[in-house]
């Protein structure tokens, strides 16, 4: 029997980005375990494939799926069992709340986490009162565990509401006055419900995270690359988190000072002349090449052997530096050329490419809204849409998530294919309209992966080797994700793992369709 020990391991990319992320994720997973957190989205890369017995040819390590006999297909059952055991997704707010609880020394006990999650995941949760309460009541203090990883007295909804309120108010005190525009309770709720790059950046500065912690949270929570060299704000946060503590400065104050110095309107900058190296290059730099050039400039500037030594870091943080100004100018120039791309535009390009592939079928020739909805039904099943009677006549409506069939074997809770994250990977009509395209960055990335996957597997002709398929798909999708600032394919992400598992099947496209047809087969009420 062939050795499948390495079947699920990551394929290293030439840049080494995957290897670095692997190491970072390992450190993050260790941190979670050491602090009593057991719900991390892990895939066991050392475990052999559950499908070994179905492989016939040593050179053909994929398994065959027959949709008509899925209920009796032992290999298919093994496939679902593998998903059940190894593919889990932790909602972003759990990482953030755990970090806040740890930061402020509130130990609710491992036995109360599930109750807290249920409280926060209730759409009606609110932060109680704007009275600035920063201390827990004595009765609640008595219920807490003595340290992280321990157990505590059981808590109720009132306790959870008080904990969230205290966390919110304590965090507010970490921000400079006036830094958060609008109502604080709204901002905090958005941080928990819909974390994005800007909110996570502000959180890292407020809590004085080191760069590695910010790096890991950005990859784990947002599926974003740690340092986007084409984002001036990211560059300034990198400098603030790395160097401000060395000079006895507050990261937030340093960041605000750097913004005033380097992100002021051009006319008010100390030196607003154009960068001579930037002239005549419009349209010639790729995002990758530009990032490398900017990275080289920053490395030289910030290394002890370059423009900054341990003696003059403080000067860099308080006075304009010509070399850093050149970097910022270069970034602004590239951004004016829209080098970084909109996730929705890339998504629509991938959709059009898929429609082109489908056009070889007579029934899908052309492209209009009618065909778009027919494609939804083709991918997801006949029940994916319905006609809804309204005052203006009938209109097409999406199948509500609440009507989706559950696929969990034996009614298992938290089965990934029944999770909201997985449901949000379905292509819906609203995604084609800019005003309705999702702002959730994890969902944006998963939608891009969905379209890239469909374009990769639809035409067939895939390598018979699973390892080659994963390598090809990883290579194909890396540039696509990087265009939008997202991290590359990585098995610590549940959806990435699901797509990789699909590639282990002889016909991944039909397996994809079969699973979604099963999800949408329930009748409307």
Angle between helices 232-243 and 287-302 (to 10 degrees): 30
What's the confidence (pLDDT) of residue 9?
Answer: 34
Q: What is the rounded CA–CA span in Å between residue 335 and residue 287? A: 10
The residues, ordered by sequence, that sit 6+ positions from 490 with a Cβ below 8 Å of its Cβ are 10, 18, 21, 22, 25, 219, 496
What distances in angstroms separate CA 112 from CA 37, 106, 119, 149, 151, one per listed residue?
12, 12, 11, 11, 8
Q: What is the rounded CA–CA span in Å between residue 351 and residue 452? A: 9
What's the confidence (pLDDT) of residue 296?
Answer: 81
The DSSP-derived string for 214-279 is: HHHHHHHHH-B-S--TT-HHHHHHHHHHHHTGGGT--HHHHHHHHHHHHSS-GGGSS--PPPGGGT
What's the confidence (pLDDT) of residue 43?
Answer: 37
| Mean pLDDT, all residues of the chain | 79
| 11 alpha-carbon distance from chain centroid | 20
Question: Among the residues of 418-459, which ranges form H helices?
Answer: 420-423, 441-457
The residues spanned by each domain of the chain are 92-194, 232-336
Scanning the structure block, which residue is given the tokens 């036995």?
111
CA atoms within 13 A on the CB side of 506: 14
Give the closest residue to 127 by CA, choosing from 173, 96, 174, 160: 160
What's the confidence (pLDDT) of residue 7?
Answer: 29
Facing residues of 393 across strands? 390
Q: What percent of the chain is predicted at pLDDT more than 70? A: 76
CB neighbour class for 413 (10 Å; exposed up to 12, middle 13-18, buried from 19) = exposed
User: Are 502 and 453 spatial neighbours (Cβ–Cβ below 8 Å)?
Assistant: yes
What's the confidence (pLDDT) of residue 367?
Answer: 55
Helix (H) and strand (E) counts for the chain? 21, 2
Residue segments in the chain with a per-residue pLDDT below the cut of 50: 1-17, 36-58, 272-276, 278-283, 524-525
Tell me the pTM. 0.80
What's the confidence (pLDDT) of residue 45?
Answer: 35
């Amino acid at each position: 029997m062939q050795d499948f020990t390495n079947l699920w391991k990551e394929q290293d990319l030439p840049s080494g980005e995957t290897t670095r992320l692997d190491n970072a994720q390992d450190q993050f997973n260790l941190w979670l375990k050491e602090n009593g957190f057991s719900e991390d989205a892990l895939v066991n890369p050392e475990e052999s494939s559950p499908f070994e017995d179905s492989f016939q040819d040593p050179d053909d390590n994929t398994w065959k799926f027959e949709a008509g006999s899925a209920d009796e297909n032992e290999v298919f059952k093994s496939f679902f069992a593998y998903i059940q055991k190894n593919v889990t997704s932790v909602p972003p707010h759990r990482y953030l709340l755990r970090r806040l609880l740890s930061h402020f020394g509130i130990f609710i006990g491992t036995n109360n986490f599930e109750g807290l999650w249920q409280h926060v995941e209730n759409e009606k949760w609110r932060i109680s009162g704007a009275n600035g309460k920063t201390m827990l009541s004595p009765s609640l203090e008595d219920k807490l565990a003595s340290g992280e990883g321990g157990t505590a007295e059981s808590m109720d909804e009132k306790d959870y509401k008080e904990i969230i309120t205290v966390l919110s108010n304590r965090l507010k005190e970490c921000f400079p006055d006036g830094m958060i525009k609008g109502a604080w309770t709204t901002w905090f709720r958005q941080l928990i419900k819909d974390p994005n790059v800007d909110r996570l950046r502000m959180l890292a500065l407020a809590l004085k995270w080191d760069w590695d912690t910010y790096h890991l949270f950005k990859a784990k929570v947002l599926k974003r690359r740690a340092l986007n060299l084409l984002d001036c704000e990211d560059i300034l946060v990198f400098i603030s988190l790395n160097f401000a503590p060395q000079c006895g400065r507050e990261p937030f104050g340093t960041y605000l000072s750097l913004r005033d110095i380097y992100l002021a309107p051009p006319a008010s900058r100390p030196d607003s002349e154009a960068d001579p190296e930037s002239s005549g290059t419009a349209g010639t730099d790729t995002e990758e090449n530009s990032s490398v050039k900017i990275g080289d400039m920053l490395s030289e500037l910030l290394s002890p052997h370059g423009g900054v030594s341990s003696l003059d870091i403080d000067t860099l943080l308080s006075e304009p530096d010509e070399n850093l100004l050149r970097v910022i100018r270069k970034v602004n120039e590239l951004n004016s050329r829209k080098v970084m791309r909109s996730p929705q535009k890339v998504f629509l390009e991938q959709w059009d490419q898929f429609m082109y592939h489908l056009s070889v079928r007579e029934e899908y020739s052309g492209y209009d809204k009618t065909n778009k909805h027919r494609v939804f039904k083709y991918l997801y099943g006949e029940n994916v849409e319905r006609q809804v009677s309204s005052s203006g006549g009938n209109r097409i409506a999406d199948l509500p998530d609440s009507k989706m069939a559950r696929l969990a074997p034996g009614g298992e809770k938290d089965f990934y294919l029944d999770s909201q994250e997985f449901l949000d990977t379905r292509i819906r009509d609203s995604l084609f309209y800019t005003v309705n395209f999702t702002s959730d960055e994890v969902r944006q990335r998963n939608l891009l992966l969905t379209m890239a996957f469909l374009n990769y597997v639809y035409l067939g002709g895939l390598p018979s080797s699973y390892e080659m398929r994963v390598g090809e798909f990883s290579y194909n999708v890396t540039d696509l994700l990087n265009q939008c600032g997202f991290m590359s394919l990585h098995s610590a992400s549940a959806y990435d793992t699901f797509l990789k598992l699909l590639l282990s099947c002889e016909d991944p496209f039909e397996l994809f369709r079969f699973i979604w047809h099963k999800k949408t087969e329930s009748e409307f009420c």
